[in-house]
Amino acid sequence: MKDYYYFLGISQDASEEDIKKAYRKLSLKYHPDKNENDDFFADRFREIQEAYETLSDPVRRRGYDHNLESHQKSFRDNIPPAIKTFTSNKVHAKKGEEIIINWQTSNADIVKVLPFGLEKPYGERIFKITEFKDGKFQLLLHATNSLLHKTVVQGITITEVFENDSEKFKSSVEELFKPQPRTIVNRRGFPKIVMLAWGILILAIAIYFLIRSFS
């Protein structure tokens, strides 16, 4: 059963105003028009709408809360969650290639497949990888028993395959010039090529002064 409170990032005792604020914030963030109609954002936006439509209606919310409570009580509180299967039809793929994943869990009332979000305890998802990070795409299955406060996690890594060497070279070059996440070392998020150039320059200066100190 889908946890609409989790979708909106609010507690089960959230007020009507809390629900509205959460919906406005998330709908702006995940709206497909602002994310080039990406399937991932479109799916999240539909989930957010579904959650808001249910929780913003007092009658529907009461019925949902009752079903959610019954669903949570159906899990035995002395058996931890488990992942029976989590498979992918491919572990090597090209960008834009179709991937099919399957999973099955037991004794878990909250199941997430990242980066997609909440899912049913068992199921199948078909998607296309539009972006790899350092030549890899990571999938994580989280199965949680909220009564026990226990979670098990299993991952699948899909490695990027290139049609030819020129495509691989192009991808590597693009990665060098792509802005990076901001860190303590790279506070402005400079591309790798800039950080590499700075490193070479600093090394050259250090070698220059080292040679001068011995001359």
What are the C-alpha distances in Å from 53 to residues 78, 80, 187? 34, 33, 41
Q: Helices 165-177 and 192-214, interaxial angle, to 10°?
A: 70
Distance CA 100, CA 127 (A): 7
Q: Helices 39-55 and 16-30, interaxial angle, to 10°?
A: 170
Q: How confident is the model at residue 207 (pLDDT cuts 50, 70, 90)?
A: confident
**Under 8 Å between Cβ of 118 and 111:** yes
CATH class name, domain 4-73: mainly alpha
Q: How confident is the model at residue 190 (pLDDT cuts 50, 70, 90)?
A: confident
Helix/strand/coil percentages in the chain, nearest 5: 45, 25, 30
Confidence at residue 164, expressed as pLDDT on a 0 to 100 scale: 59
- Letter for the amino acid at 146? S
Residue 205 in this model has a pLDDT that exceeds 70: yes
CATH number listed for the domain at residues 82-160: 2.60.40
Where exactly are the structural domains of the chain? 4-73, 82-160, 165-214
Instruction: Give percent above pLDDT 70 in the chain.
Output: 88
pTM of the model: 0.51
H helices within the chain, ranges in order?
4-8, 16-30, 39-55, 58-73, 165-177, 192-214
Summarize pLDDT for 69-98 with one digit per residue, the tens: 877 666 555 788 999 999 999 999 988 899
Q: How confident is the model at residue 102 (pLDDT cuts 50, 70, 90)?
A: very high
Q: For residue 47, which of 57, 55, 59 has the smallest C-alpha distance?
A: 55
Q: How confident is the model at residue 55 (pLDDT cuts 50, 70, 90)?
A: very high
Confidence at residue 75, expressed as pLDDT on a 0 to 100 scale: 58
- Say if strands 98-106 and 122-128 run parallel, antiparallel, or are unpaired: antiparallel
Summarize pLDDT for 132-188 with one digit per residue, the tens: 988 899 999 999 887 778 899 999 999 998 765 555 556 666 766 777 777 776 777
